[in-house]
Amino acid sequence: MKQTARIISIYASDTAGVCSMLYELGGMTIVHDASGCNSTYSTHDEPRWYQHDSMIYISALTETDAILGNDARLVDDIVRAAEEMKPRFLALCGSPMPMMIGTDFDALATELEQKTGLPVFGLHTNGMNSYLNGASQALCAYLKRFCIEVPKEKKSVNIIGATPLDFSLNGSVGSIRSWLKDNGYQVVSCMAMGSSPEEISRAGKASVNLVISSCGLAAAEYLKKRFGAPWVSGVPYGKSFSAQLLNALELAEKTGICQSPHAARTGTKKVAVVGESVTASSFAAALETDCGLSVRVLCPQALQPSILADCDSLIDCEDSMAAAFAEADVVFADPLFEPVCPRGTIFIRHPHEAFSGRCFSGEIRNFVCRELKREMFSL
Amino acid sequence: MLKKLTPHQDMSGAEIKIKDAVFPSPFETGLEFSAPARGPWNIVHTGMLIPESHQIFACARGCLRGVILTAAEMNAMNRMSWVSLEENDLFSGKMESDLEESCAHILEQMPGKPKAVLLFISCVHLFAGFDFTIVLEHLQERFPQIDFIDCYMHPTMRKSGLTPDQLMRQQLFAPLKPLPENKTAVAILGNDRPADPESFLCNTLKNNGLQLYDITLCKDYEEYRKIGESSLMIATYPPAKAGAEHLAKRMNRKFFYFPISYSYAENAGNQKKLIDLLGLPSVDPEEQIKKAEEALANAKSVIGDMAIEIDYTSTPRPLGLARLLLEHGFNVKRVYADVFIGEEKEDFEYLKANFPELILTATVHVKMRFSGKGIRTEEPILAIGQKAAYFSGTGKFVNIVAGGGAHGFEGIVRMCEWMIEAFQNEKNTPEVIKLKGLGCESCLL
């Protein structure tokens, strides 16, 4: 049954995606919410809390404000906080109640921009959509506002779509950077982990963009349209697939045509990987090329199904996931999916922070450029 | 590339000396920050106290995320299900029937049926005019062997009537039916953890052959239902008071509020009231006061003049505790709270008059994002409570929430023991306070 789960977890929401994408960029992110979004985000969705300061707040919406449509208090509170905290920008996003009462975030952004003199983004979230949606919106809004015109340089690249929700803090993003540098690429920026706002503002310098999760696709499309750089989606997991991805980067830069090499699979239902479309699909490609497994992706949420292979499936509920697991001999998925995996199917723990938060973050392995072998998974 | 982007150390607006503060809300409201101190229980932890129960949350993904992972971290996903609310649902005209069918689907899939289901709806349901009653009635008809409990995750209403926490502690006892009154049975209602067995309250019941019912000690649903035979219903934790009183009234039983307190006079007075209610011989509190005084003197001799900071999550009466400690020569510098409960008014006025330099500090103010983590560690600090530990950046802290189960004069002795332990044994604060629901099982351990 859709929207219903007896025992599995749920993926992070759009508001968490906004907060996660903007976390390191020096702004102030305000979730228009009564209570809960902030503690859920800081507890389960944000492992950088102690290492890196950021201004993530809620508006503390009350029943009275909601009934009376009292946006003035929200505006006053944000203006006062902005004066005290001096952020680089303001990002305002909504939870379910503002959607219910029809809060106009674009209008609020305009008003706040006039009152604070800061760049302000009004983001269209409602706490009902995926983190991918929120992160995607936030990154696009940021780039539209802050990217400057710079000369393009050959063999330079932006990494787009990095958040701990998909990559944890296990060194994967650093490994992707190193892989690019080792192969002669200059990394212009990584959006949005480990790069300064100034570096990201010069994103137009890149000759090609590497999209490492689907929340980076819209931003890559925007950069393509504005600066002409094509994008390649994929994460350099495994030995052989990372080589394929490198070829795709070179091809894209040469031809100007976007590439999704991870989608060139002809998987079967016997081995399944569950997860976000670009990361899971790249992992599936790595298993296929390094281990000789024929793998399909079960994708609980996808922003652009077009980057998935024909053999892959969008799975939108617990029942469908259980049915898909039953067709498989081997399943790679977050441990919180295990209760719906039937006996007889080999379940391989493949934690994903966007699904299980910090429960298994210590188990999340860095597979970037690392040759995958069946023994690694006891296969 | 890890760096502090915008350091802030000017704490004006986020802290105030008590002499300049107003009761009960010393600070201007505004945007809010949430400190990563996760020991205080939430409605999931509290609801799990009903043995053999199952929780179903119906709300938006963003709201579900926090409660589902609360259950996941306490290794209790087998007691948690959800129904996500999406935009179309609000306009479909089928919210009630959809939720009923989703709940039925969940329950039909369960290999063993729970004894009770706590069905939570959210703010959006209330604003949409959701007919919760009809859903519960239909589910009750379809699953007559299950007790369905209406529960609410509606933080938008946190300043309107009972807070979600208070309401949860009330609904915790909603399935109870009045059983024939047992004159020798007494219930302590709504606390997170068992009352200290060494407390006057527990000792009095035990020494006089009275049966104590406490949900935290109930092994199964049958034992939980026996709470309904209690002749006297007691609350000790302020957020539990309204629910306990409600239950006593519903069952036509006596109710007694014996709050956590650090006042000798209040504890002595409440002890007498309890004795009178139970028809027992009077007890002179002199020996208890002597023990409390000895414990305080001992703690002072160990801790000396080390600065002490207290937060509101450690005890519902942080000002009462500050007053007790200050009166006994401790160097209490700061109390963290955003608002005080009405019970603290007298202590607030006393401290204002007698210790006017005591600092009150907000916990949710925007500037508090940049407090803590060593910014103010010029002097060593002993903290009481997780938020005080986080903000002060100390590893010497008393790791309790909601009073820690301590109660009465014996609670004062217990607090002194905890303070000495905290003084002598430094903790890894981030690792300790990140665990949700202090005392619950955690997959992070």
What are the start-end ranges of the H helices in chain A? 14-22, 37-40, 63-68, 71-85, 96-101, 105-116, 131-146, 164-167, 172-182, 197-201, 217-227, 240-255, 277-291, 318-327, 353-356
User: Which pairing describes strands B80-84 and A4-5: parallel, antiparallel, or unpaired?
Assistant: antiparallel
The answer, yes or no, to whether residue B3 has pLDDT greater than 60, is no
pLDDT in tens, B192-202: 888 899 999 99
What span, in angstroms and rounded, lies between the C-alpha atoms of B192 and B215? 9
Give yes or no on whether A14-145 and A262-377 have one common fold. Answer: yes
Indicate if the alpha-carbon torsion angle B115, B58, A61, B5 is positive or negative. Answer: positive
| Same domain, residue pair B272 and B294 | no
Predicted local confidence at residue B4, as pLDDT: 41
Percent of chain B whose predicted confidence (pLDDT) is above 70: 96
pLDDT in tens, B244-286: 999 999 999 999 999 999 999 999 999 999 999 999 998 899 9
Whether residue B402 has a cis bond before it, omega within 30° of 0: no
What span, in angstroms and rounded, lies between the C-alpha atoms of B20 and B192? 35
Predicted local confidence at residue B421, as pLDDT: 98
User: Is residue B120 a contact partner of residue B64, using CB atoms and an 8 Å limit?
Assistant: no
Yes or no, beta carbons of A101 and B127 under 8 Å apart: yes
Is A147-259 in CATH node 3.40.50.300? no
| Same domain, residue pair B114 and B209 | no
Report the chain B residue with the minimal C-alpha distance to residue A101. Answer: B127
| Same domain, residue pair B84 and B167 | yes
In sequence order, what DSSP letters do the residues of B223-286 get, joined into one string?
A: HHHGGGGEEEEEE-SHHHHHHHHHHHHHHT-EEEE------HHHHHHHHHHHHHHHT-----TH
| Same domain, residue pair B20 and B143 | no
In-domain check, residue B283: no
Predicted local confidence at residue B372, as pLDDT: 62
In-domain check, residue B442: no
Q: Which residues in chain B touch residue A198, judged by CB atoms under 8 angstroms apart?
A: none
Give me the residues of A, 129-158, that contact B with CB < 8 A.
129-130
Predicted local confidence at residue B108, as pLDDT: 96
Q: How many CA atoms lie within 13 A of B375 on its CB side?
A: 17
Predicted local confidence at residue A329, as pLDDT: 95
| Same domain, residue pair B315 and B415 | yes
pLDDT in tens, B37-74: 999 999 999 999 999 999 999 999 999 999 999 999 99
| Same domain, residue pair B25 and B80 | no
Yes or no, beta carbons of B124 and A3 under 8 Å apart: no
Confidence label for B6 from pLDDT (cuts 50, 70 and 90): very low
In sequence order, what DSSP letters do the residues of B405-428 get, joined into one string?
A: G--HHHHHHHHHHHHHHHHHS---
The CATH code of the domain that includes B77 is 3.40.50.1980
The answer, yes or no, to whether residue B378 has pLDDT greater than 80, is no
pLDDT in tens, B289-325: 999 999 999 999 999 999 999 999 999 999 999 999 9
Q: CATH for A262-377? A: 3.40.50
Yes or no, beta carbons of B158 and A34 under 8 Å apart: yes
Please, what is the average pLDDT of chain A?
94
User: Is residue A259 a contact partner of residue A233, using CB atoms and an 8 Å limit?
Assistant: yes
User: Is residue B309 a contact partner of residue B336, using CB atoms and an 8 Å limit?
Assistant: yes
Domain boundaries, position B223: 182-278
In-domain check, residue B4: no
Yes or no, beta carbons of A13 and B34 under 8 Å apart: no
Amino acid at B251: M
pLDDT in tens, A44-73: 999 998 888 899 999 988 888 888 888 999
Give me the residues of A, 191-250, that contact B with CB < 8 A.
194-196
User: Is residue A141 a contact partner of residue A90, using CB atoms and an 8 Å limit?
Assistant: no
pLDDT in tens, B126-183: 888 899 999 999 999 999 999 999 999 988 877 778 888 999 999 999 999 999 999 9
pLDDT in tens, A264-279: 998 888 999 999 999 9
Q: Which of A64-73, A188-197, B411-420 bottoms out in mean pLDDT, i.e. has the lowest?
A: A64-73
Confidence label for A341 from pLDDT (cuts 50, 70 and 90): very high
Residue with tokens 């036509």: B252
In-domain check, residue B79: yes
Predicted local confidence at residue B203, as pLDDT: 93
Q: Which residues in chain A touch residue B59, judged by CB atoms under 8 angstroms apart?
A: 96
| Residue B88 in contact with partner chain A when CB distance is under 8 A | no
Yes or no, beta carbons of A64 and B158 under 8 Å apart: no
Confidence label for A225 from pLDDT (cuts 50, 70 and 90): very high
| Same domain, residue pair B309 and B330 | yes
Predicted local confidence at residue A200, as pLDDT: 97
Pick the CATH number of A14-145 from 3.40.50.1980, 3.20.20.370, 3.40.50.620, 3.30.9.90: 3.40.50.1980
| Same domain, residue pair B296 and B427 | yes
Predicted local confidence at residue A217, as pLDDT: 97
Indicate if the alpha-carbon torsion angle B310, B311, B312, B313 is positive or negative. Answer: negative
| Residue B434 in contact with partner chain A when CB distance is under 8 A | yes
Size of interface A-B (CB pairs under 8 A): 221
Please, what is the average pLDDT of chain B?
93
pLDDT, mean of residues A223-247:
97
State which H helix or E strand residue A29 sits in.
strand A28-32
Q: Which of B171, B197, B232 is the C-terminal boundary of a domain?
A: B171
| Same domain, residue pair B159 and B198 | no
Predicted local confidence at residue A34, as pLDDT: 85
Q: Smallest Cβ distance to A128: which of B87, B123, B369?
A: B87
Predicted local confidence at residue B9, as pLDDT: 67
Yes or no, beta carbons of A6 and B29 under 8 Å apart: no
pLDDT in tens, B352-364: 999 999 999 999 9
Report the Cα–Cα distance between both ends of chain A, in Å, rounded: 33
In-domain check, residue B164: yes
| Residue A86 in contact with partner chain B when CB distance is under 8 A | yes
Predicted local confidence at residue B48, as pLDDT: 97
| Residue A362 in contact with partner chain B when CB distance is under 8 A | no
| Same domain, residue pair B375 and B421 | yes
| Same domain, residue pair B61 and B139 | yes
| Residue A66 in contact with partner chain B when CB distance is under 8 A | yes
pLDDT in tens, B206-219: 999 999 999 999 99
What span, in angstroms and rounded, lies between the C-alpha atoms of B80 and B68? 7
Domain definitions of chain A by residue range: 14-145, 147-259, 262-377
Helices and strands (H and E) in chain A: how many: 15, 14
Q: Smallest Cβ distance to A53: which of B72, B89, B369?
A: B369
The answer, yes or no, to whether residue B435 has pLDDT greater than 70, is yes
Q: Which of B278, B311, B340 is the C-terminal boundary of a domain?
A: B278
> How many structural domains does chain B have?
3
What number is the ipTM of this complex? 0.95
User: Is residue B386 a contact partner of residue B315, using CB atoms and an 8 Å limit?
Assistant: no
Chain A: closest CA distance from residue B360 (Å): 20
| Residue A166 in contact with partner chain B when CB distance is under 8 A | no
Cβ atoms within 10 A of the Cβ of A83, count?
Answer: 10
| Same domain, residue pair B311 and B359 | yes
